[in-house]
Amino acid sequence: MIQTYTFSAAGGHAVNEDAFVLCPTTDRGAWIVALADGQGGRAGGARAAQLACDVTTQHVTRGESLDWVEILTRADLAVAQDREAGFTTLIGLCVRADRVVGASCGDSAAVVMCGDQAPRVLTSRQYKNPPVGCGDASFVPFEMKLTVPWKLLAITDGVWKYAGWEHVWDCVARLSGTELIAELQSAARLALTGEFQDDFTVVLLENE
C-alpha cells in the first residue's frame, strides 16, 4: 500500500510560490502528483504554479485519454492565457505500486529509489526553458518500473539546492515518512535563523 507525506513552506518571503496537488485516482491504489515552483522575480509566480497544478489534475481526473506531454501542454496554455499568471516549473506524474509515468519542465525534480539500488532522477532530461506559462514549454516524458520497496520524491529546487543532492540521497536511503522530510527541512534551513532560503516543497510516496 502506498503511503503519502507532504510538506510545503515559504522561504525568504511571505508568499509561498510553490504549489502541489496530491490525489488518488479512480484506479484503485494509484496516485496523481502535480508539483510546480512559480518563478520568482516577477509577478504571478504563485498563481501560475497553482493554476498549472490544478489544470493538470483536472485533466487526469476527468479520465481523458491524453498522455502526460499533452496534459502538461494544456496546463502551459492555460497559464499563458491567464493575464495574472507568471511563469512556473511543472511536474505531473501518476504512480502505481509497480510503475511511475509522467513528464516535466523546469528544475523541480522527481527522484526514485528502489530498495538498495542507486537513486534515479526521473526528470534529469527536462528543459528549464521555455518556462510553463509562455505557451511554448517543452515537456520531457519519463517512465520507470518500480520494485518494492521504493520511495518517490517530488521536490522543488528549494530542497535540492540547499539540502544538497548527496544529503537527499542519504536521507532517502536511511529514512522514511515524516523523519525523511524533517531531515531534509533541517538540512535546508539557515543555521542562524532556522528559515528556509527558498520556498521548500516535498511530496513523498512510499511503498514498503
What are the tens digits of pLDDT across the range 116-127?
999 999 999 999
Strands, E, within 82-199: which ranges?
Answer: 90-95, 99-105, 109-114, 120-121, 140-145, 150-155
> Which CATH number is 13's domain given?
3.60.40.10
Q: Is the pLDDT of residue 41 over 90?
A: no
Sign of CA dihedral 100, 156, 109, 68: positive
Residues composing the chain: 208
What are the tens digits of pLDDT across the range 79-106?
999 999 999 999 999 999 999 999 999 9
User: What are the CA-CA distances from residue 132 to residues 90, 127, 148 (Å)?
Assistant: 7, 11, 33
> What rounded mean pLDDT belongs to the chain?
95
Mean pLDDT value of segment 167-184: 97
- Collect all residues with Cβ–Cβ distance below 8 Å to 58 and sequence separation of at least 6: none
What are the tens digits of pLDDT across the range 125-172?
999 999 999 999 999 999 999 999 999 999 999 999 999 999 999 999
Q: What is the DSSP string of 58-86?
A: HHHHTT----HHHHHHHHHHHHHH-TT--
pLDDT reported for residue 202: 98
C-alpha cell, 10: 515559504
pLDDT reported for residue 9: 98
Domain of 42?
3-207
Mean pLDDT value of segment 45-73: 93
Q: Answer whether 0.95 is exceeded by the pTM.
A: yes
Report how many domains make up the chain: 1
